[in-house]
Amino acid sequence: MIQVDNITKQFKKVVKQPGIIGSVKSLFNPKSEIITAVDNVSFDVQEGEVLGFIGPNGAGKSTVIKMLTGILTPTSGKCTINGKIPQKDRKNYVKEIGVVFGQRTQLWWDLPLVETYSVLKEIYEVPDAQFKKRMDFLNEVLDLQAFIKSPVRTLSLGQRMRADIAASLLHSPKVLFLDEPTIGLDVVVKDNIRKAIAKINNEEKTTVILTTHDLSDIELLCKRIVMIDKGKNVFDGNLSELKSKYGQMRELCFETDNIEDVKSKLQYASRFNATSDDVIVNNDGANVSVKFNSDKIAVADILGYTLQEVHITDINVKDADVEEIIRRLYKEGVTENE
């Protein structure tokens, strides 16, 4: 459905020197430098797939999305969506896609929400009967009824986001691009939006590309993940691959009746000769959590050592969660590891 071949995007950026003198200098003699926002990124997406597209801030996620939606033209490389090149014949191409940029809105700010939908109906040439059916469906999934007659500027962020997603789906697109659709939303709204996306993907086999910083989005929605960092593709695979590739971090949780013993007797770092990144100890009252790198420290060893040193009332070992993996990856900068 979507093929992305070695796309690269470079921007020219005017470099401003600091201070007032610098500002005056750059007014008369502007210096610019080339910034490579996206560097040879390739991946492809099957029809009906939900792809999680992740990476730290400034990694180039949005730039890729903008190229895929035809807003930006790649400096080099090619992307094809449903057999079409976005930059060629833009008007025809965008009929088949829906786009939501979480930080912008496609709704008419000063008009009642329902007016936006009737404008979109004409733009996409949706027949009356189908429009009605579609609105009923979107209403049911995204629960728009309560605010559909209110001017968009009076909507809360959660309402606006639901309305925006509905707007992007009105014409039943084949591909849906969601750029941070859950940004700034509370847990309940996030959950509703995830359910809606899952439902639409399920019922209509809509291909979805989703960028997010919220890893629960990824865990609940995406079977596959593409991760980029500093404009480069660093990981492409499913969630369990991500976990096995980067997920050496596991967590040992236990409860003790003698917290003083834990602090004085347990010296993981020196016992296993590990760095402070490989073993992290936290405690909340009697509950102790030890995050450790299972590549460097065997589970049996750390378990044996802990049981031997302190008296424990309850114990378990948890798998790494995605959040932790990503946190480590972002922190270390994945590109160096590759």
The H or E element spanning position 12 is: strand 2-15
- Tell me the closest approach of the beta carbon of residue 325 to other proteins, in angstroms: 26
CA count, 13 A, side-chain hemisphere, 148:
15
For other proteins, the closer of residues 62 and 294 by Cβ is 62
CA distance 2 to 300: 45
Indicate the Cα dihedral angle 175, 176, 177, 182, nearest 10°: -160
Instruction: Find, among 165, 173, 166, the residue nearest to 82 by Cα.
Output: 173
The residue within the footprint of other proteins, chosen from 8, 26, 82, 118 (CB under 8 A), is 118
Cβ contact 263:93 at 8 Å = no
The site string for other proteins over 176-195 (x = CB under 8 A, - otherwise) reads ---x----------------
Of 39-47, 122-130, 188-196, 275-283, the segment contacting other proteins by CB under 8 A is 122-130
For other proteins, the closer of residues 128 and 284 by Cβ is 128
12 forms beta bridges with 34
Tell me the three state secondary structure of residue 23: helix
- Residue 173, burial from CB neighbour count under 10 angstroms (0-12, 13-18, 19+): buried
By CB under 8 A, residue 95 contacts other proteins: yes
By CB under 8 A, residue 90 contacts other proteins: yes
By CB under 8 A, residue 259 contacts other proteins: no
The residue within the footprint of other proteins, chosen from 81, 94, 242, 266 (CB under 8 A), is 94
38 forms beta bridges with 9
The site string for other proteins over 38-77 (x = CB under 8 A, - otherwise) reads ------------------------x---x--xxxxx----
By CB under 8 A, residue 103 contacts other proteins: yes
The residue within the footprint of other proteins, chosen from 1, 2, 43, 105 (CB under 8 A), is 105
- Tell me the closest approach of the beta carbon of residue 149 to other proteins, in angstroms: 13
By CB under 8 A, residue 150 contacts other proteins: no
By CB under 8 A, residue 154 contacts other proteins: no
Tokens of 110: 């000063």
- Tell me the closest approach of the beta carbon of residue 201 to other proteins, in angstroms: 20
By CB under 8 A, residue 157 contacts other proteins: no
By CB under 8 A, residue 270 contacts other proteins: no
Indicate the Cα dihedral angle 123, 124, 125, 128, nearest 10°: -100
- Residue 158, burial from CB neighbour count under 10 angstroms (0-12, 13-18, 19+): middle
The site string for other proteins over 1-20 (x = CB under 8 A, - otherwise) reads ----------xx--------
Task: Look at the alpha carbons of 227, 233, 239, 245 in this order and tell me if their dihedral is positive or negative.
Answer: negative
Segments in 56-170 forming alpha helices (H)? 61-68, 90-93, 113-123, 128-142, 157-169
By CB under 8 A, residue 148 contacts other proteins: no
Which residues contact other proteins by CB under 8 A?
11-12, 62, 66, 69-73, 90-92, 94-95, 97, 99, 101, 103-106, 108, 110-111, 115, 118-119, 122-125, 151, 179
